[in-house]
Amino acid sequence: MSIKGTILIFASAALVSSIHSDRCPTTYQRFTKDHTFCKPASSSCHVLKKGVNSKDKSLILKFHNEYRSKVATGKEPHAGGLPTASNMMEMVWDSELEVIAQKHAETCVFKHDCNNCRKVARFPVGQNIAIKKSTKAIQSADWHWMIKKLYDEVSLFNKKYLKSYSGGKAFGHFSQIIWATTYKIGCGWVLYKEGMWYNSYFVCNYGPAGNMNGVEVYKPGKTCSACPKNSCCGSSCSRSGFKAAYPGLCKILSRG
C-alpha cells in the first residue's frame, strides 16, 4: 500500500524499576561503555515532538496483546493457519525499557543499537524500529498503524519456525511481537525534521528478547495449559482477584 508523500521503513533485531537519572549507572557500564542509556540526544537533530504519553502506552499494550491473543487462540489464518499457543504471555509496560528506547529514538539515527547497548540486568532485550517519512507535518505517533504493519509480516511467516526460530528472515517484526516468553515492553518516539522530511521514528524494546535462533517462538497446545506458576489465565485470574482482558494470554501476577 502506498501513501503519497510518505516513505515507510522498518527494521527488527533480537537480543536483547524506572530510571530517570542523567548519569551513566555502573549497571549499564558493565555491559558496555556505549550503552544507549548513557548517550546524549543528538545535537544536530531538529526534534519537534518526543516521548510516549499514558494514552500511547495503553494503546501500544492493547495492540500487542490483541495480536498475541489472536495467535494464542488460533484465530490467525495466515501462515497456513497458526496453532493455538499454550504459553503466550500478556505484555506489560516496563519503564526501564521505555527510557532506553526513548534514548535511542532521540539519537535520530535509524539503526539498531548493539545488543549490549540496550541490555538490562534482568534479561537480554529485543528491538523493533520503524520510521515514517512524510513531506507533511505529522501531528502524533500512529502506533496502531505502525504495529499493524509490523504484525502484517505474518503473511511471510512459515509455521515451521515455531519450533525452532531461524533469523535473517523477512518476518522478524512479527515473530518478536508474538514471542511467547516476551512479556515486557517499553517504547520511545520522536518526530524530527530532516530537510523536506518529517520523520516519525518509533523504537520498541522487548524483554526477555525474542527472535533467538534455535528457540521455539511459542509452544503449540491448549491455550493457557503451559502458563508459568506466577501467572493466571481465563477463569483462574478471577479466582486470584485479577481480570483476564485478553483470551489465551497468561497474565503475570508479580511485576518483577
Q: What is the pLDDT of residues 106-153, one digit of tens each?
A: 999 999 999 999 999 999 999 999 999 999 988 899 999 899 999 999
Per-residue cell: 195: 530537510
Q: What is the pLDDT of residues 55-105, one digit of tens each?
A: 999 999 999 999 999 999 999 999 999 999 999 999 999 999 999 999 999
Please name the helix (run of DSSP H) or strand (run of DSSP E) that holds residue 93, with its range, or none.
Answer: strand 92-93
Nearest Cα to Cα of residue 178 among 187, 165, 191: 165
The phi, psi pair for 161, rounded to 5°, reads: -85, -5
Residues 6+ apart with CB under 8 A from 23: none
Q: What is the pLDDT of residues 82-92, one digit of tens each?
A: 999 999 999 99
Q: In the predicted model, what is the mean pLDDT of the chain?
A: 90
Task: Supply the pLDDT for residue 243.
Answer: 86
Indicate the domain borders of the chain. 45-224
Fold of domain 45-224: Pathogenesis-related Protein p14a (3.40.33)
Per-residue cell: 49: 515532538
